A = this chain, B = another copy of it.
């Protein structure tokens, strides 16, 4: 504990802004009575890519963990909500917007960032990769989808405790899909989709095969999807019936 007794009034004293030196006009400092951990947000964005689960990562071009993959994320701005901070950082670093993020939890082990005590609030999501363009945000990093196989079995080493975050996020995603209404808030498939596409998403997330008949009958029995009449997706083989989520605006 601190030697000095911490009082609320003193802890909450307003930050003092001043210039550190005459020749650095941009260097305003923020001062508090007690130390504050840095607060960051990270986003674990999943997608289905080539029949495999993939995560949107950036490659760090700066120390620490230079050259390693990391989750898009960054510092929470003054008077910014956590979710907005995560959306902003995701957009800045990967170009991905229009995402619904769900909170995963806070990660605050004092040693998780070698630069100092940093607490990160993690979010997760699932999106259709084809519906979002990925662009590297700045020269400090480059963004790309990285398949789960590369993440899990070594080739793509993750910075900080981000390997833990993506593991936890996948478990939470599985719990979401176990729920009959688990698709709400997650962009698992395009607005119109075939049941095989949806099944592919489930199989990638859970890492195992599902029985086609059981999968389809459960969806229909739970009244989650409805066929879109006179719309069939053409392809190399027999065209598949298109569906949409039921009780959701048509989009």
Contacts and interface: CB of A to CB of B under 8 A. Distances in A.
Contacts of A82: 106, 108, 119
A240 interface: no
Given A80-B110, A116-B14, A119-B76, A30 B36 contact: yes
A160 to B, nearest CB: 12
A77 B2 contact: yes
A12 B160 CA distance: 15
A128 to B, nearest CB: 27
B30 A29 contact: no
Interface in A1-19: 1-4, 6, 8, 11-12, 14-16
A105 B76 CA distance: 16
B8 A39 contact: no
Given A8-B62, A119-B39, A79 B33 contact: no
Contacts of A184: none
A140 to B, nearest CB: 8
A131 interface: no
A88 interface: yes
Contacts of A2: 77
Contacts of A77: 1-2, 35
Interface string A23-60: 00011111111111111000000000000000000000
A117 interface: yes
Contacts of A1: 77, 88
A241 interface: no
A39 B78 CA distance: 13
Closest 7 CB pairs of A and B: A82-B108, A12-B115, A79-B110, A35-B78, A36-B36, A106-B106, A106-B121
15 contacts: A2-B77, A8-B62, A8-B115, A12-B116, A29-B33, A30-B35, A31-B31, A32-B38, A36-B36, A37-B76, A39-B39, A78-B117, A79-B117, A81-B108, A82-B108
